[in-house]
Amino acid sequence: MSEEAGDSGGQPAGTLVRAVEDTLGLAAGSVLFGLMSITVADVVGRYALNAPLPAGYELVQVGMAALVFLVAPVVTARDEEIRVDIFQRMFPERIRPALRLASKAISLAVILGFAWLLLRRAGTFWESGETTSNLRMPLAPIAAFIAVSWAVSAAIVAVQIVRWRKGAPR
């Protein structure tokens, strides 16, 4: 984990962040391996046996969502999001940190909005009992998982803002 991401030099908070990052990374790696295995089985079945993996496409869809939202909090914690900073050079150096803070605040609002909307959608899915088309996997837990991922990312951004305001290097 990078120092910018909040490595507190072995203190409990830094250890906890590292443990969460490691756990999410291991889970994401496992999902990626599963996606690879599904794809290999589907391709071999399709071309060698003329029998593709039933619902392989659906499994890959759910797996990709899981993969993306497992690593989203890690990317946020490491401050490695994709940024478009083409306008940054237009502003004096002294106000760039304030622009960065404003960017973080906007990110926090958007991420919280997504978390709230996904949580509401999970409730709707729960009430309606909506499932995937082939495997009949319930959509409510998937939407809830994504909402939790957004909420964790929001908490990380909030901590980054607080650290920045306290003068920590961000």
Query: In this predicted model, what pLDDT tens digit does every residue of 88-107 receive, in sequence order?
Result: 788 888 888 888 888 899 99
Any idea which of 16-30, 100-114, 155-169 has the lowest mean pLDDT?
155-169
Flag whether pLDDT at 143 surpasses 90.
yes
Flag whether pLDDT at 58 surpasses 90.
yes
pTM for the complete prediction? 0.79
- Average pLDDT, whole number, for the chain? 87
| 40 Cα distance to chain centroid | 25
Round the CA-based radius of gyration of the chain to a whole number and report it. Answer: 20
